[in-house]
Structure formats: structure tokens, C-alpha cells
Amino acid sequence: MTAPNAGRGIGNGESTAEQTTTFGFPRDTFRILHVSTGNVCRSPITERLTRHLVRERLGVLGGPLVVESAGTWGHEGAPMEANAETVLAEFGADATGFMGRELLDEHVIMADLVLTATRDHRAQVISMGHSAGLRTFTLKEFTRLVRAIDPATLPPLDDGVVTRARALVRAAAALRGWLLAPNAEADEVHDPYGAPLTFFRSIGDEIHEALDPAVTALTGVPARM
């Protein structure tokens, strides 16, 4: 069964018998999965902002980077919240065509990097198995770790964004036990569901602030001034 958001990522690459993995997806693809609760507020904002920031840096939709989202209690087929759409529009990101979906095993299996809104979401993803522990982080945790990685130790973009992205995830996982959060709230993005637009904007700012250095590290291209 094809999930409602299947194929809505950034670039899908060519698929051949030699290129495909056992799950039927190209080896030269790097899939990022954003996870929140309902998949109508935080993870849609994060998904579409990631795509927007990648486009800004690479000038295209990212080629082999595929960016998706799902919810641990996902509202299957639901549109994102209107306030989330407004926030995305204010960042210049595209909210069109989004449909919520429930987090499934196949989403975790296919993901090369899972970024969650909270530590509870991270725990839920890891509890699903599929060797997800080394590639699952909260968004803010991943950013904290990425900031500590010397970009010179990562493969250059000339080696391909997939090679660089996989090396970044390995480096972040290796740092996890050494670089701890200053407090329990530091790795959380709170749920704005049902809140006024002003709170959605503050959450959007938090997500953007966390995503910016992560996307820079993934692509090797800093934000445009």
C-alpha cells in the first residue's frame, strides 16, 4: 500500500536493479523523516522548511534528498493546520499538497535520518526497532551535535550529498553520549496545536533556527546572506 505522501520528497533519483536496496529504494537516495504527534503542525512545518532551505542552498529541489514526515498519532490524509500553512508562507516555503499520515514501520525502515519534535517521539521511533537508534534524534539534539562537528571532517559536496549526509549522521551519533543537553527542555519543540498564530510563529522560528545549521551541514552550503 502506498502512503498518501509517498513520492512527495525532494527528488527520487533513478531506480535500477543494481541501485535499489532490499526495500526497493535507490542506494543513492538519502531520506529524512520528520516526526511529531498528529503530523499537522510541527512535522509539516519542519518537512516543508527543510525542502525550502535545501532549495535555497543547492538551487534545486535537492536531487537525491527526500524529505517526508509522519505522526505517531498521525491524522491520515488530513491537511496541515491553517496556522502552520501561514508560518510556512511567511518563510517563503511551499505548503501545497500536504497530507498527514500515521507513522508506520516502513517509514522508519526507509529513513536514513529521523528527526523528531520531542524526546518522547524519539523514544517511540526507537521502540519500533529497525536499528533506528543510531539515526534517530530530536531536531534540536541533532542541531546541537552538528554544531560540534568540524565541517572539514565531512566529505565535500563533490562526493555527493548522500555521501556527506550519511557521514554527518554517523558523526552525530558518535557524539551523542559526549555532548549532552543542558536541560530536559533543550531538545523539545512544543506542540502548537490549537494555539494562536503568534505561538505558531514562535514554534516556526524555533524550527527554522534548528534546521538552518543542520541543512548547512548536510549540503555543505551556508545560508545566503
Q: Each residue's pLDDT tens digit in the chain (225 positions)?
A: 333 333 334 433 333 333 333 344 446 889 999 999 999 999 999 999 999 999 998 876 656 889 999 999 988 999 999 999 999 999 999 999 999 999 999 999 999 999 999 999 999 999 998 899 999 999 999 999 999 999 999 999 889 899 999 999 999 999 998 878 888 789 999 999 999 999 999 999 999 999 999 999 998 888 776
Task: Give the pLDDT confidence score for residue 177 in this predicted structure.
Answer: 83
pTM of structure: 0.87
User: What residue type is assigned to position 205 of the chain?
Assistant: D
Distance (Å, rounded) from C-alpha 130 to C-alpha 120?
18
Nearest to 37 by CA among 66, 78, 1, 8: 78
Task: Give the pLDDT confidence score for residue 19 in this predicted structure.
Answer: 32
Task: Give the pLDDT confidence score for residue 213 in this predicted structure.
Answer: 96
Task: Give the pLDDT confidence score for residue 11 in this predicted structure.
Answer: 39
Distance (Å, rounded) from C-alpha 44 to C-alpha 23?
25
94-127 in b/e form (b: 16+ CB < 10 A) is: ebeebbbbbbeeebbbbbbbbbbbbbebbebbbe
